[in-house]
Amino acid sequence: MNKPIRRVAFVAMIMFALLLANGTYMIIFRQSTLDTQPQNRRVRDA
């Protein structure tokens, strides 16, 4: 059963890589627009 387990491990690796990539994407591309939103109470009150 080792071959399918390796494939499952590969799928798990892809899932974790997607989470990390999404975090990176969020900081690089979404952060600045989110921080300038008028509805953002954190930035508004700061």
Q: Does 22 bind another protein (CB under 8 A)?
A: yes
What is the sign of the dihedral through the CA atoms of 8, 12, 13 and 18?
positive
Q: Does 29 bind another protein (CB under 8 A)?
A: no
| HEC string for the chain | CHHHHHHHHHHHHHHHHHHHHHHHHHHHHHHHHHHCCCCCHHHHHC
Residue 34 beta carbon to another protein: minimum distance, rounded to whole angstroms: 4
Query: How many chain residues are in contact with another protein, going by CB under 8 A?
Result: 29
Q: Does 6 bind another protein (CB under 8 A)?
A: yes
Residues that bind another protein (CB under 8 A): 1-6, 8-9, 12, 15-16, 18-20, 22-24, 26-27, 30-31, 34-35, 37, 39-43
